[in-house]
Amino acid sequence: MKYIVTLIASMAVFMANKSLAQTAFFEDFEGVTTPALPASWENKKTGTIGWETHTGSITFPGSGVDWSIKTHTQYAVVNDWNNASDINNPSSLITPLIDMSALTVPYLSFDYYFASARVGSNVETFAVQASIDSGKSWTAIKSITTGNTYEWQKAYIDLSAYIGEDSLMLAFTYSDKGAKIIGVAIDNIKVYDPPASDIAVTTVTPEVGSYREFGLAGSNITIGGSLFNQGAAAVTSYTIHYQAGSGPIVSDPITSVNIAPFTSANFTATTPWTLPSTVGSTDIKLWIELTGDADATNDSGTTQITAAQFIPKKKILAEEATGTWCGWCPRGAVFMDSVAHSATHNQGFSLVAVHNSDPMVVSAYDGKLGSLIQGYPSMSIDRRIEVDPSDMFDIYTDHKDDFGYAEITLTDVAASGFNYSLKVTVKPAVEMSGDYRLALALTEDDVTGTGNSWAQANYYSYQSQNIPLSGAGLDWKQETNPVPAEKMRYNHVARAIIPSPDGAAGSLPATMTAGTTYDYTFNTITQPYWHRYNENMHAVVMLIRASDGHVLNSNNIVVPLGLSDVDAGINNFRVFPNPTSSVAYVNFSLEANSDVKVIVTDAIGRTVNIIERSDLEAGMHRLNVDMSQQASGVYNVTIQTESGKISARLSVVK
């Protein structure tokens, strides 16, 4: 009797998942020698090649992009870019006859690479068509309208309209619209009955390497992820299980959901995990339990979460690729300026405009940024993602809470004339081992010049594309193309990158302990022609991970330059540290003996401090200004002699 009961139970499981074994058609292109196609397939082409098979990756040299079709065993492809003499308008790859008579819930699945790229007004297209009359007529069943320029993707198409057909043909059709575009690749084509229930975990969050895998030691963190319903039935409930290290298993039932077949969904465990009270990483295992799941091998995932001693303030490094020759680059100037003047966003960014092929170019910096971008205008964010300048506000929302790894404090060091010294103090929030470096960029606002090379190309102009764009002090649509040099004021201009874009090797030790501070001092020389006022110059310091070149955090500070006023007889005037929280030092040199008065005023002109010295001798001097009783804000520091006066700004931060 036990045997009969077991047999009946086994039959019930088989019937419930009967469709798992029902595959009417499968092709992975492994059984042919490249570039040949399977003999039973038709290559209906408008050019000489059309579709072919390929092994390995494909790049698109000279296309101006760094996209590539990644290795995917052997696959079929229309290599439109590299077969430029061909015309694929359109070219179709057609299956042999497919017998659907044994299928009850039929689907088509396949892997594909498609960029959905554009050349001018031509946009490449990719679609799947079906025929039940041996190819005499075709019905479009799916158009792929968006693509991923870097990764293979998977498509699922409902074929229930063809249940019972014994002579279905499918066509995979690509068109370049008569232009040289990218192409398309496909693999692992399957027509089948999927199981009723099959759920797959695709990611576990926070993901390793996502800059969100960190939390404050002792705090709670939410664990979640994304899943994909690979079954033919909607998922209405499931259970999340996770385990941190060797700790207890946490189980959270999820109900009242409706995840349609072949769609993705995000999930969140309702019970948060409490991080350990000590700094370190913990492995997390997560799996999902679904009643009747046909495949238990794809239901789990892992991640790692690191407890940090503190959460450093994150400043996103935004490096703009620009040039006076670039007609679309006014867009970059507008959004950089918008961020800089936003009270909400300006403290979240360090801004650098890296110029290309114009009078403001810094060759080494330009070369580095050029290796990170695909074109102009463009924005490199922390040297790990590239975005359009118009995305900067979204970037702030998406990345302001990224983990910054270490607190970066900047302190001016006394220096004479146009020498500049900046002490950088790095305080890691986690244990850090490896090659970490610091780099210093000096930037300037309100940069001007004369001559045609300083005029800004402007495709937004009524003389060009006539597109509305306002900001950075101009209504670009109303301006000419180019905008004359005398009307241009360039901001955030990179003037130097010290010692190189990749940072100073050995500036930080190979092993850094959480909570310990590490100092490094940059010493350089600023150029007198760079600036008119000290508040126009900024120092931007980057914390770089050499293994991948990513900028983990940044900070910036006003550069207190050695201002001079010959008429007043004052040289090498500097105020430091700037900003300060208590005492500021005023350095200056006199050309001749003179009475000196130092006057400090606030933002509305009220005098808050006066220091008077009689008959100071010619030469260098330093005076202390006590700002400990003053509120946070920007103050004006003026030195007045018998011959004249000179001023600089001082920031007080409490």
Complete DSSP assignment for 268-281: E-SS-EEPPSSSEE
pTM of the model: 0.73
> What value does the mean pLDDT take over residues 246-252?
97
Is CATH 2.60.40.10 correct for 199-308?
yes
Q: Regarding predicted confidence, which is higher, 208 or 4?
A: 208
Residue 643, Cβ density class (10 Å: 0-12 exposed, 13-18 middle, ≥19 buried) = middle
Strand partners, 652: 580, 633
Q: Of 248, 222, 230, give the one whose Cα is nearest residue 303.
A: 222
- Is 199-308's fold the same as 316-558's? yes
- pLDDT cut 90: percent of the chain above it: 77
Rounded Cα gap, residues 79 and 176, in angstroms: 11
Q: Please state the φ and ψ torsions of residue 201, each to the nearest 5 degrees.
A: -85, 120
- Does an H or E element contain 241, and which? strand 238-244
pLDDT of residue 654: 82
- Tokens 């959901």 locate to 257
pLDDT of residue 118: 86
- Tokens 């126009």 locate to 536
Q: Which residues of 24-53 are buried (b: 16+ CB within 10 A; e: fewer)?
A: bbebbbeebeeeebbeebebebeeebbbbb
Q: What is the 3-state secondary structure (H, E, C) of 482-544?
A: CECHHHCCECCEEEEEECCCCCECCCCCCEECCCCCEEEEEEEECCHHHCCCHHHEEEEEEEE
Contacts of 384 (CB under 8 A, 6+ apart): 548, 550, 551
What tens digit of pLDDT does each residue of 331-351 get? Answer: 999 999 999 999 889 899 999
Rounded Cα gap, residues 158 and 166, in angstroms: 17
What tens digit of pLDDT does each residue of 39-56 get? Answer: 999 999 999 999 999 999
pLDDT of residue 561: 60
Question: Before 484, cis peptide (omega within 30)?
Answer: no
Question: Which pLDDT band holds residue 158 (cuts at 50, 70, 90)?
Answer: very high
Rounded Cα gap, residues 354 and 368, in angstroms: 10
- pLDDT cut 70: percent of the chain above it: 94
**Weakest-pLDDT range from 139-143, 167-171, 559-563:** 559-563
* Three-point CA angle 396, 398, 286, nearest 5°: 155
Name the token pair of 479. Answer: 């301006």
Rounded Cα gap, residues 23 and 105, in angstroms: 11
Residue 378: how many CA atoms within 13 Å on its side-chain side? 17
SS3 335: helix
Rounded Cα gap, residues 282 and 285, in angstroms: 10
Rounded Cα gap, residues 591 and 97, in angstroms: 96
Strand partners, 355: 322
User: Is pLDDT at 534 greater than 70 in this prediction?
Assistant: no
What tens digit of pLDDT does each residue of 267-283 get? Answer: 999 999 999 999 999 99
What tens digit of pLDDT does each residue of 87-105 get? Answer: 999 999 999 999 999 999 9
Q: Of 123, 31, 109, give the one whose Cα is nearest residue 80.
A: 123
Name the token pair of 330. Answer: 């006014």
CATH number belonging to domain 563-652: 2.60.40.2550
SS3 545: strand
Rounded Cα gap, residues 199 and 180, in angstroms: 40
Contacts of 70 (CB under 8 A, 6+ apart): 57, 113, 150, 151, 152
> What value does the mean pLDDT take over residues 383-403?
95
Length of the chain: 654
CATH number belonging to domain 18-192: 2.60.120.200
Question: Which pLDDT band holds residue 369 (cuts at 50, 70, 90)?
Answer: very high
Name the token pair of 55. Answer: 């092994």
CATH number belonging to domain 316-558: 2.60.40.10
Report how far apart, in Å, the C-alpha atoms of 617 and of each of 262, 594, 597, 621 are: 83, 7, 14, 9
**Beta-strand (E) ranges in 38-196?**
42-44, 52-55, 58-59, 68-69, 74-78, 91-94, 107-114, 118-119, 122-123, 125-131, 139-144, 153-158, 169-175, 184-192
Longest dimension (CA), the chain: 116
- Tokens 């969050």 locate to 205
Rounded Cα gap, residues 157 and 128, in angstroms: 9
Q: Please state the φ and ψ torsions of residue 247, each to the nearest 5 degrees.
A: -75, -175
Q: Where are the domains of the chain?
A: 18-192, 199-308, 316-558, 563-652
Q: What's the mean per-residue pLDDT of the chain?
A: 91
Residue 504, Cβ density class (10 Å: 0-12 exposed, 13-18 middle, ≥19 buried) = middle
